[in-house]
Amino acid sequence: MTEYTSPELLTINAARLLRDGDVVFVGVGLPNLACNLARRTHAPNLVMIYEAGVIGAQPARLPLSIGDPTLVSGALSVCGMYDIFALYLQRGNIDVGFLGGAQIDRFGNINATVIGDYSHPKVRLPGSGGSMEIAAWANRCYIITPHQKRRFPEKVDFRTSAGFLNHRQEREAAKLRGAGPQAVVTDIGILEPNEEGELILTALHPGRSVEEAQANTGWDLKISPSLRFTEPPSEKELKILREELDPNRIYLKGGE
C-alpha cells in the first residue's frame, strides 16, 4: 500500500467532497490544496473565492497567506471585503465553506475564539475572521481537523460559529440560509450529522478503527449503521499534491 501523511489523507478526502461547479469560499493551507486538487481531478469548473475579495483565483504558486498577491494575478474579479461578504456570502452565492477551529462539539458548533473564560482568557485564539458568517450562510460547510479528544469536546467553551446549536431543529428555527456542517474530515475518518444534527462516525480511513475514533472524541460517539471505509489516496491524487501543488511540503509534511 502507498504511504501517505496525515495532511495528505485529510486533503484528499476533503477534495472528494467537492462537486464540479461548486463556488467555494476557501482558506489557505489544506482547504486551498483540496480545492486545487478537486479542480485538477473531478471538478474542473470549481470556482475558488477568497475572503480577501478574490473571485476565481488561479494561483500560479502556493499561496502562503489569505491575501497572497498570486491570488490576484489572473483572477476573474477582485472586490472589497464588504462586497465579498455581502454580495457573495450573505446573498447566497457560496456553495461551500471550509471551517476550522480549536474545538468542534457534538453538534458541529466551533470555537475559534478562546479557551476558558472570555474576559480572562486562558488561551486567546485568533477569533472569528469570516467563520461566523461562513458557517451560517454557505450552503454546505466542511471542517478539516486532526482527530483529538481536546478538539472534540461535548460542548465548545465559546460558540464562534454555529453548527446545529443544540439540535438540528434549533438551527432550522434560526432560519439560517446555509445547511450547516455536512462533514468533518479527520485523520481517523469522517463524521457527519445525523437527523438530530449530532455528529456521528460515518466512515473510517483504511487501517483505522471505531475504538480509535471513540477514544479520541469527547462525547459518546455514535456509529452509523452504514459505516464505510474511505478509498485510500490514489497514486494520481498523491502525485498531483506532491509534484504540482505543494512540492516543498509546506502544508503536507505530516508527523505532527
Nearest approach in angstroms of CB 191 to another protein is 20
Rule CB under 8 A: is residue 120 a binding residue for another protein? Answer: yes
Q: How far is the CB of 68 from another protein (least distance, A)?
A: 7
Rg (C-alpha) for the chain, rounded Å, is 18
Cell numbers given for 187: 485523520
Q: Is the dihedral of CA 19, 32, 142, 179 positive or negative?
A: negative
Phi first, then psi, for residue 167 (nearest 5°) are: -175, 150
Shortest CB 81 distance to another protein, Å: 5
Distances (CA, A) of 153 to 150, 164, 221: 6, 15, 11
Q: Which residue among the candidates 3, 8, 51, 244 is catalytic per the annotation?
A: 51
Give SS3 for 134.
helix
Determine which residue in the list 165, 201, 240, 245 makes contact with another protein, applying CB under 8 A: 165
Q: Does 124 bind another protein (CB under 8 A)?
A: yes
Distance in Å, CB of 196 to another protein, minimum: 17
User: Is residue 204 at the binding interface for another protein, with CB under 8 A as the rule?
Assistant: no
**113 lies in the site for another protein, by CB under 8 A:** yes
**Cα gap 149→155, rounded to integer Å:** 12
CB 144 within 8 Å of CB 100: yes
Strand partners, 96: 24, 140
Site for another protein in 166-195 (CB under 8 A): 171, 174-177
- Taking the C-alpha atoms of residue 70 and residue 61, their distance in angstroms, rounded to an integer, is 7
Of residues 39-78, those binding another protein (CB under 8 A) = 51-54, 64-69, 71-74, 78
Which position among 11, 24, 59, 85 is part of the footprint of another protein (CB under 8 A)?
Answer: 85
Told to check if 205 binds another protein by CB under 8 A, we report no
38 binds another protein (CB under 8 A): no
Is residue 133 among the annotated active site residues? Answer: no
d(CA 207, CA 133): 36
Task: Give CA–CA dist 247/118, Å, rounded.
Answer: 40
| Residues found near another protein in the complex (CB under 8 A) | 28, 51-54, 64-69, 71-74, 78-82, 85-86, 89-90, 109, 113, 118-124, 126-133, 135-137, 158-162, 165, 171, 174-177
Q: Give the catalytic positions in this structure.
A: 51
